[in-house]
Chain A
Amino acid sequence: PPSPPPPPPAAPRKPRALLVRLSRRGAAAPSLETPDASPVAAFLSRFAAAKLAAESALSACSRSSPEEDAQRSLSGAAAAIDDLDRLAAEASHLLPPYELRSALAAVSDLRAAHRLAASELRPKKSFSFRNKSKAPKNLPQDPPTLPPPPPPPEQPNPAVEAILPGLGFRGREGAILVKDLRASDEKDGDFTLADLVSCQVYLKGKYRALYIHRLRDCRVFVGAVFGSVLIEDVERCTFVMAAHQIRIHEARATDFYLRVRSRPIIEDCSGVRFAPHALNYKGIEEDLRDAGLEDDTGNWANVDDFKWLRAVQSPNWCLVPEEERLQTIDISDVLE
């Protein structure tokens, strides 16, 4: 008698779903599929298999009792995750965006799990792998063993040290900082805000570029930036600005009121919220027009999260609910 069909491979939930989808695809009507469906399907099945290998290597580390075995499984898992990474990257040309994003997300989830397994395995070691890496929120915290060691002393690059800083406000606390580029002869320059705590910053006029680094509890109001804005490491701040491009890295608990020509992006952020631009001062219309920012494209709400490459909404950002939004702020009376 004909043997029954083989049982589906025993796999954790997610890969099985993939495999099921794959087998359905294959069974349905291969002739109806677009020509590039088969390489995609081939990738998905290879990826599912490699993912399974990585997952089982990872779960093996937690089960292995002698530390050497666990170490071996751990490095096996690392290699398997690297394989997975490479697989996804090599297929990046042929994959549709959603498949690519989910593959990348799977890899980054595994990496996080691997980091956690590694930290559990050697909690006593006096070094950390990466100072900046944060364990995912929902994972149990390590027991409070050692505080993170100080970062290795940075070797200052003498060539960089010798450079004079450009225009900007740096290293201030509890200050009101005002700059009006229209009134000075430094027209259309770049500007830097760095190491500010509890400051109110008002920048009127047009700026070619804006660099923002390490701000805590600040409120920042900017007229028009006709280039890009780069924001890194800010916490509990509010920004109101108009710009061509905005990149936001390592922001926490911060609101952004934006008008932006292209899509704003966030990376390594949490608890950031977005709302439409809400700023006024005498002459802002002219500044916005000269900077090519007279129209609101609505892109303030089209945020790309580089740490959340999935079709569903990122947990790292949201819109400011309408009833909580700031009223348009008029800073005409704030003078240098």
Chain B
Amino acid sequence: MGLLSIIRKIKRKEKEMRILMVGLDNSGKTTIVLKINGEDTSVISPTLGFNIKTIKYHKYSLNIWDVGGQKTIRSYWRNYFEQTDGLVWVVDSSDIRRLDDCCAELHNLLKEERLAGASLLVFANKQDIRGALKPSEIAKVLNLEAMDGSRHWQIVGCSAHTGDGLLQGFDWLVQDIASRIYVLE
């Protein structure tokens, strides 16, 4: 038995899921992770590198990799692609000027073969801000409809500030991954 299949088996037993959180800097990735884990979100420095959190979510154990989004470190995202079950792309819905940038980075990511099987959750974050675009508008700008039909994806409006929408998003993601990788149980 190869190492990979052993790892897969262990993973299945513990019902582990590996979730990769990416997106431009200032989109709220770390705030989302801390909020969903019930931690204090009032003092968060921009992420220099990455954070890992293991969160129990229903009967699953989510390994969440929250990788910094500053331009300088975006080239390191690819080192976290391996074995990713779910991809969370976080968008600052009120940063209209950089939506083009955001769109380009997302589509770059989706070309990546190692992420081909991962479910994609797009969080249209900062919905509590007055000028924020609605999830439907974000979906249009990011051209999500154009995605290959083989990709499981969903866009959810949320606010890491208030917590609205976070559970709805993770519920979808976890269900979707579970239905793909634990289908035989």
* B42 x A261 contact (CB < 8 A): yes
A263 contact from B46, B70, B75, B132, Cβ within 8 A: B46
Question: Which of A34-42, A84-92, A142-150, A321-329 participates in binding chain B?
Answer: A84-92
B165: min CB distance to chain A, Å: 17
In the bound assembly, the distance between CA atoms of A211 and B42 in angstroms comes to 20
Tell me the interface secondary structure of chain A in the complex: mixed
A305: min CB distance to chain B, Å: 10
- Chain B residues within 8 Å of A309, by CB: 48
Quick one: given A163-B137, A190-B130, A306-B72, are A262 and B96 in contact (CB under 8 Å)?
no
A90 contact from B25, B26, B79, B129, Cβ within 8 A: B79
Residue of A nearest to B94 (CB): A190
Number of A-B contacts (CB under 8 A): 102
Residue of B nearest to A309 (CB): B48
In the bound assembly, the distance between CA atoms of A165 and B72 in angstroms comes to 28
* B45 x A209 contact (CB < 8 A): no
B140 lies within 8 A of chain A by Cβ? yes
Question: Which of B1-9, B54-62, B97-105, B172-180 participates in binding chain A?
Answer: B97-105
- Enumerate A164-190 residues with CB–CB distance to B below 8 Å: 165-167, 186, 188-190
Residue of B nearest to A157 (CB): B100
In the bound assembly, the distance between CA atoms of A168 and B87 in angstroms comes to 34
* A227 x B71 contact (CB < 8 A): no
A282: min CB distance to chain B, Å: 25
A274: min CB distance to chain B, Å: 15
Residue with the greatest number of chain B CB neighbours at <10 A, chosen from A100, A157, A247, A263: A157
* B130 x A189 contact (CB < 8 A): yes
* A245 x B45 contact (CB < 8 A): yes
- Chain A residues within 8 Å of B132, by CB: 190
In the bound assembly, the distance between CA atoms of A263 and B99 in angstroms comes to 25
* B141 x A157 contact (CB < 8 A): yes
B99 contact from A160, A165, A190, A268, Cβ within 8 A: A160
In the bound assembly, the distance between CA atoms of A245 and B49 in angstroms comes to 17
A21 lies within 8 A of chain B by Cβ? no
B141 contact from A159, A165, A247, A268, Cβ within 8 A: A159
- Enumerate B113-164 residues with CB–CB distance to A below 8 Å: 126, 128-133, 137, 140-141, 143, 161
B76 lies within 8 A of chain A by Cβ? yes
A108: min CB distance to chain B, Å: 8
A194 lies within 8 A of chain B by Cβ? yes
Residue of B nearest to A88 (CB): B76
Quick one: given A166-B94, A304-B48, are A189 and B131 in contact (CB under 8 Å)?
yes
B43 lies within 8 A of chain A by Cβ? yes
* A160 x B100 contact (CB < 8 A): yes
In the bound assembly, the distance between CA atoms of A227 and B71 in angstroms comes to 20
* A306 x B129 contact (CB < 8 A): no
- Chain B residues within 8 Å of A14, by CB: none
Quick one: given A261-B43, A262-B46, are A230 and B70 in contact (CB under 8 Å)?
no
* B131 x A166 contact (CB < 8 A): yes
Q: A98-115 interface mask toward B, CB cutoff 8 Å, 1 = contact, 0 = none?
A: 001000000000000000
Residue with the greatest number of chain B CB neighbours at <10 A, chosen from A167, A209, A227: A209
24 A-B Cβ contacts within 8 A?
A: A85-B75, A92-B76, A157-B141, A159-B137, A159-B143, A160-B96, A160-B141, A163-B137, A166-B96, A166-B130, A166-B131, A189-B131, A190-B94, A190-B132, A208-B129, A209-B126, A230-B26, A261-B43, A262-B46, A265-B70, A292-B42, A306-B48, A306-B73, A307-B72
Query: Which 9 pairs between the two chains have the least Cβ-Cβ distance?
Result: A166-B131, A262-B45, A189-B130, A89-B79, A263-B45, A306-B72, A159-B141, A265-B46, A159-B140
Mark A residues whose CB is within 8 Å of B.
85-86, 89-90, 92, 100, 157, 159-160, 163, 165-167, 186, 188-190, 192, 194, 208-209, 211, 213, 227-228, 230, 244-245, 247, 249, 261-263, 265, 267-268, 292, 297, 304, 306-307, 309
